[in-house]
Amino acid sequence: MSDLRVPKLWREIPQHYRLEASKCLSCGRIYFPPKTICNNCKSKNLEKTALPRKGVIETFTIIRNAPSKYELYAPYAIAIVKLENDVKILAQITDCEPAKLQIGMPVEAVIRRLYDDGENGVIHYGFKFRPVF
Residues 116 and 132: their CA atoms lie apart, in Å, by 27
Q: Which stretch binds Zn ion (CB under 5 A): 35-43, 48-56, 67-75, 105-113?
A: 35-43
Residues 5 and 40: their CA atoms lie apart, in Å, by 42
Residue 51 in contact with residue 85, Cβ under 8 Å? yes
Q: Which stretch binds Zn ion (CB under 5 A): 40-48, 73-81, 99-107, 119-127?
A: 40-48
> Shortest approach of Zn ion to residue 47 CB, angstroms?
12
The single residue among 41, 103, 122, 123 that binds Zn ion, judged by CB under 5 A, is: 41
Q: Which of 100, 130, 91, 107 is nearest to 55 (CA)?
A: 107
Residue 102 in contact with residue 58, Cβ under 8 Å? no
The footprint of Zn ion on this chain (CB under 5 A) covers a number of residues equal to 8
Q: Which stretch binds Zn ion (CB under 5 A): 25-33, 47-55, 81-89, 90-98?
A: 25-33
Q: Which of 120, 68, 123, 115 is nearest to 92 (CA)?
A: 115
The single residue among 21, 38, 87, 91 that binds Zn ion, judged by CB under 5 A, is: 38
Q: Where along the sequence are the contacts to Zn ion (CB under 5 A)?
A: 24, 26-27, 29, 38, 40-41, 43
